[in-house]
């Protein structure tokens, strides 16, 4: 496979995943805002921080308002992580690697782009927001379904999976990074209403309220949420799940080489050193430091993959 | 030129239904216009979703547009096609022989059939190709011959496309779309298939592998990138052939071979189907500003390390100034009279011709020698006095830059309009593959249609559309 193609596949799926994550955070912010008393838009700063788009927002705006935040996250061209920007980027990458995709996957991405571009052509009113978010969710799910159902399980597939899980691990780690203080065992009195808001935010941000209930019951507490998002092997957005997938896919790719590329070793180290523990060990290490370390390892891993597989030269 | 004299491929000149359209007509009579209108919209949706778009140059933002597709097939009888094929094959053989001669012994010039200055002063002539014979002796691996029709048996070659003819993806997608939308029409008519084109293309390219190739030839398609107007076609062909689609920055010369950067390191390419112009191919040998090509590829090529398809320098054969010599060229290399006629052409470089052209501008079509895509031409009969006068100035200033032809009464075929069928002018571009194994002509080709009533301009860049083209089994 061409290095350029690997690059395009990897970024195509990173951008798709990013679009999904951003729209999910918008959904969370909207939901929290609606179900909470009071009128302040504070939550949107936190939502944008979780999506890593707050700094860019502040360059263009003096204050944080709900409408401006939603617009920034969904359709602002100046925001490279807006849903519209990321879907356009995903499609540009897909066009570039058109020959590596099945007809179904290409049509799903192109259809996703056309539908989302259309839906985000104008400012989205509050009334239309649920339908627009639903459309984004459906269209990106269609791409994932087509990928899953029609692509050969070969190196092409491996690179799309790498992009997906690196982006997803990064997103989950950032959500944790923004909210880590509410997950510390000693942070707040258990059961206070403030906790409930935070926890609900976290679980909604990763589409996992139902999953959490199924796995841990309806009693929510900080320790279980941390366990769920960081180490739970069943949870498709947990750090452990994503890191394991990254490691697996790099192993498949590395099997064609005489000596495993550096990135395979780095992924193995990430799994071995940071995922095979219980949550108490994470708290002992320091939750904040742990998240910071994992974020930094993910970023280095991404750079090493680009090098090992000759994305650019 | 009155509409009455125009030959319609469905109704002739006397409103009698022609044979190839009989099954179509009996089907159409029973069709509901409303259903067909829905089908027309459906077709557009299919094209849009598949991303079958082209980019329009000269606009601020790279814009993707659909080429309008008309759902009414253009139908050609098998025996009509056979006769055309003979002429096309003869012409393509002559073009290859001409190219070989021009870059080697130049017999045709010595024989006085083509003037020396037509070659030496021609920008399309590449000195880098002198003395070089490409692998397999093939210069034009892919050719598109643009034909127009003026009567039941009268076809003219409008121009030869010997550089990188485009449009074949539309031929294939148009057929795919028609098969999906009107399967019943294909049950009633025996239409010769076009779907083998990508397989034939790959085989044909592989058959021209260079001396350095050991083992099964590695073929790749070279594109300028996703912003090129024909990017869709480049990706489509690479996909259908099952080969890599590369850009200049994926390639570099490694150990005397042109190699592509893969996830496993650099891998040599044997045959490169390039869709970029000669000038951009190699910044070391041609335009030094080019970022689209591969530095040093010409040196590898000359040393037998790679096959470039089409060969550099083939433009000398499809140049509009050379075009007027084609009947001589065909005769010179094949020993036979040209089967396909040329449109009578005045070379404005010749004083007598120029005088005639200047006197008859309102009757003629005047084209730039190096132009393409319908840009920079004058269609006398449909131009205003002012446009003609402006063109006259350009023509007088640089007569050598222009040729002129009579306005032909191009045939019409029906298109689907809101009120049913209506005749529109068309041309036809059949696609031809050349390899040492022989010449392969796909039955049919790309029909371009002027969607405006009475218009003669079929170029997609000027608002033309396309149609599926059927060649029936007799």
Q: Specify the pLDDT at position A38.
A: 55
How many Cβ atoms are within 10 Å of A276's Cβ, its own excluded? 11
Cα A105 from Cα A6, distance rounded (Å): 16
Chain A contact for B390, CB < 8 A? no
Nearest chain B Cα distance for residue A76, angstroms: 18
For the residues B257-266, what does the mean pLDDT come to?
A: 96
Main-chain phi, psi angles of B427, to 5 degrees: -130, -175
Those of residues 49-68 in B touching chain A at CB distance below 8 A are: 49-51
Q: Specify the pLDDT at position B470.
A: 98
Average pLDDT, chain B: 92
Q: What is the pLDDT of residues B270-279, one digit of tens each?
A: 999 999 999 9
Q: Specify the pLDDT at position B140.
A: 97
Cβ-Cβ contacts under 8 Å for B462 (sequence gap 6 or more): B373, B374
Yes or no, beta carbons of A96 and B262 under 8 Å apart: no
Chain B contact for A6, CB < 8 A? yes
Rg for chain A, CA atoms, rounded: 19
What does the DSSP assignment read for A121-169?
SSPPPTTTHHHHHHHHHHHHHHHHHHHHHHS-SSHHHHHHHHHHHHHHH
Taking contacts as CB-CB distances below 8 angstroms, the residues of chain B near A111 are: 49
Distances (CA, A) of B207 to A231, A261, B163, B215: 56, 37, 19, 12
Yes or no, beta carbons of A1 and B262 under 8 Å apart: yes
Between B400 and B469, name the one with better pLDDT: B469
Yes or no, beta carbons of A256 and B50 under 8 Å apart: no
Cα A190 from Cα A182, distance rounded (Å): 10
Yes or no, beta carbons of A310 and B238 under 8 Å apart: no
The answer on pLDDT for B442 being more than 90 is yes
Yes or no, beta carbons of B51 and A99 under 8 Å apart: no
Tell me how many residue pairs between chain A and chain B have CB atoms under 8 A apart: 57
Chain B contact for A115, CB < 8 A? no
Contact between residue A182 and residue A188 where contact means Cβ atoms under 8 Å apart: yes
- Extract the tokens encoding B333: 């290399």
Yes or no, beta carbons of B263 and A114 under 8 Å apart: no
Share of chain B above pLDDT 70, in %: 96
For the residues B362-381, what does the mean pLDDT come to?
A: 80
Mutate which of B180, B235, B263, B269 to test chain A, going by most A C-beta atoms within 10 A?
B263
Cα B308 from Cα A297, distance rounded (Å): 45
Taking contacts as CB-CB distances below 8 angstroms, the residues of chain B near A6 are: 263
Q: Indicate the SS3 state at residue B440.
A: strand
Distances (CA, A) of B470 to B146, B152, B213: 16, 16, 38
Q: What is the pLDDT of residues B42-56, one digit of tens each?
A: 999 988 888 887 776
Which of B62, B67, B26, B30 shows the shortest CA–CA distance to B48? Answer: B67
Q: What is the pLDDT of residues A103-155, one digit of tens each?
A: 999 999 999 999 999 999 999 999 999 999 999 999 999 999 999 999 999 99
What's the pLDDT band for B2 if we cut at 50, 70, 90? very low
Yes or no, beta carbons of A3 and B249 under 8 Å apart: no
Chain A contact for B235, CB < 8 A? yes
Cα B21 from Cα B11, distance rounded (Å): 9
Nearest chain A Cα distance for residue B464, angstroms: 24
DSSP for residue A231: I
Yes or no, beta carbons of B244 and A110 under 8 Å apart: no
Nearest chain B Cα distance for residue A128, angstroms: 25
β-pairing verdict for B69-76 and B271-274: unpaired
Its ipTM equals 0.85
Indicate the pTM of the whole model: 0.90
Nearest chain B Cα distance for residue A114, angstroms: 8
Chain A contact for B45, CB < 8 A? no
The answer on pLDDT for B428 being more than 80 is yes
- Give the nearest partner residue to B263 out of A111, A114, A155, using CB atoms: A155
Chain A contact for B124, CB < 8 A? no
Nearest chain A Cα distance for residue B228, angstroms: 12
DSSP for residue A302: H
Share of chain B above pLDDT 90, in %: 79
Q: At what angle do helices A287-308 and A155-183 cross, to 10 degrees?
A: 160
Please work out, in degrees rounded to the nearest 5, the angle formed at the alpha carbon of residue A154 by the alpha carbons of A112 and A19.
25
Cα B70 from Cα B415, distance rounded (Å): 6
| Spans in chain A with pLDDT lower than 70 | 37-40, 185-195
Contact between residue B220 and residue B246 where contact means Cβ atoms under 8 Å apart: yes
Chain B contact for A92, CB < 8 A? yes
Chain B contact for A59, CB < 8 A? no
Q: Specify the pLDDT at position B222.
A: 98
Q: Specify the pLDDT at position A186.
A: 64
Chain A contact for B44, CB < 8 A? no
Taking contacts as CB-CB distances below 8 angstroms, the residues of chain B near A155 are: 263
Cα B381 from Cα B388, distance rounded (Å): 10
Which residue bears the tokens 């933002």? B61
């Amino acid at each position: 496979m061409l290095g350029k193609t690997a690059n395009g596949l990897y970024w195509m799926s990173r951008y798709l995943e990013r679009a999904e994550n951003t729209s999910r955070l918008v959904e969370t912010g909207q939901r929290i805002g609606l179900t909470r008393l009071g009128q302040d838009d504070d939550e949107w700063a936190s939502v944008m921080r979780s999506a890593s788009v707050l700094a860019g927002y502040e360059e263009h705006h003096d204050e944080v308002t709900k409408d401006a935040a939603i617009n920034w996250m969904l359709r602002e061209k100046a925001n490279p992580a807006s849903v519209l920007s990321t879907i356009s980027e995903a499609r540009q990458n897909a066009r570039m690697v058109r020959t590596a995709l099945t007809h179904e996957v290409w049509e799903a991405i192109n259809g996703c782009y056309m539908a989302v571009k259309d839906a985000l052509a104008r400012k989205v009113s509050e009334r239309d927001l649920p339908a627009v978010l639903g459309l984004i969710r459906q269209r990106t799910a269609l791409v994932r379904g087509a990928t899953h159902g029609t692509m050969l399980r070969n190196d092409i597939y491996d690179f799309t999976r790498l992009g997906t899980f690196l982006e997803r691990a990064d997103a989950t780690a950032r959500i944790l990074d923004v909210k880590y203080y509410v997950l510390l065992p000693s942070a707040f009195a258990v059961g206070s209403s403030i906790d409930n808001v935070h926890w609900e935010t976290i679980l909604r941000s990763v589409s996992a309220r139902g999953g959490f209930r199924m796995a841990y019951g309806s009693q929510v507490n900080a320790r279980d949420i941390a366990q769920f998002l960081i180490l739970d092997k069943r949870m498709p957005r947990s750090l452990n799940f994503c890191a394991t997938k990254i490691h697996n896919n790099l192993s498949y790719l590395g099997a064609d080489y005489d000596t495993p590329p550096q990135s395979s070793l780095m992924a193995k180290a990430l799994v071995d050193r940071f995922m095979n523990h219980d949550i108490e060990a994470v708290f002992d290490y320091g939750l904040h430091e742990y998240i910071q370390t994992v974020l930094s390892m993910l970023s280095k891993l991404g750079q090493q993959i680009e090098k090992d597989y000759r994305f650019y030269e | 030129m009155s509409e009455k004299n125009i030959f319609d491929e469905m109704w002739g000149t006397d409103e009698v239904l022609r044979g190839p359209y009989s099954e179509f007509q009996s089907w159409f009579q029973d069709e509901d216009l409303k259903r067909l209108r829905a089908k027309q919209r459906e077709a557009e949706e299919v094209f849009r979703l598949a991303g079958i778009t082209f980019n329009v140059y000269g606009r601020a933002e790279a814009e993707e547009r659909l080429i309008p597709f008309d759902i009414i097939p253009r139908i050609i009888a098998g025996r009509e096609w056979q006769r055309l094929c003979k002429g096309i094959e003869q012409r393509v053989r002559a073009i290859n022989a001409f190219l070989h001669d021009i870059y080697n012994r130049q017999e045709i010039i010595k024989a006085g059939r083509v003037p020396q200055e037509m070659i030496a002063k021609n920008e399309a002539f590449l000195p880098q190709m002198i003395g070089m014979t490409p692998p397999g002796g093939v210069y034009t691996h892919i050719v598109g011959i643009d034909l127009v029709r003026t009567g039941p048996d009268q076809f003219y070659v409008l121009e030869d496309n010997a550089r990188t003819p485009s449009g074949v993806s539309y031929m294939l997608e148009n057929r795919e779309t028609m098969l999906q939308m009107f399967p019943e029409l294909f049950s009633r008519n025996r239409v010769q298939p076009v779907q083998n084109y990508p397989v034939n293309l790959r085989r044909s390219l592989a058959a021209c592998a260079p001396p350095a190739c050991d083992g099964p030839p590695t073929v790749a398609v070279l594109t300028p990138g996703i912003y090129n107007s024909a990017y869709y076609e480049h990706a489509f062909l690479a996909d259908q052939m099952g080969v890599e689609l590369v850009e200049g920055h994926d390639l570099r010369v490694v150990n005397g071979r042109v190699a592509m950067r893969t996830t496993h390191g650099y891998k040599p390419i044997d045959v490169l189907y390039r869709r970029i112009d000669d000038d951009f191919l190699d910044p070391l040998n041609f335009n030094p500003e080019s970022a689209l090509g591969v530095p040093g590829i010409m040196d590898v090529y000359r040393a037998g390390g790679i096959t470039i398809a089409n060969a550099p320098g083939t433009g000398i054969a499809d140049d509009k100034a050379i075009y007027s010599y084609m009947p001589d060229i065909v005769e010179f290399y094949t020993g036979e009279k040209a089967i396909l006629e040329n449109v009578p052409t005045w070379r404005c470089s010749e004083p007598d011709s120029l005088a005639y052209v200047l006197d008859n501008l309102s009757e003629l079509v005047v084209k730039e020698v190096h132009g393409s895509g319908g840009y920079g031409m004058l269609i006398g009969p449909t131009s205003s006095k002012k446009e003609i006068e402006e063109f006259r100035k350009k023509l007088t200033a640089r007569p050598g830059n222009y040729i002129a032809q009579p306005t032909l009464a191009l045939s019409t075929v029906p298109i689907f309009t809101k009120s049913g069928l209506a005749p529109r002018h068309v041309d036809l571009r059949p696609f031809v593959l050349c390899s040492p194994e022989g010449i392969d002509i796909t039955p049919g080709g790309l029909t371009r249609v002027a969607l405006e009533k009475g218009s003669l301009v079929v170029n997609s860049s000027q608002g033309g559309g396309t149609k599926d083209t059927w060649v029936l089994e007799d």
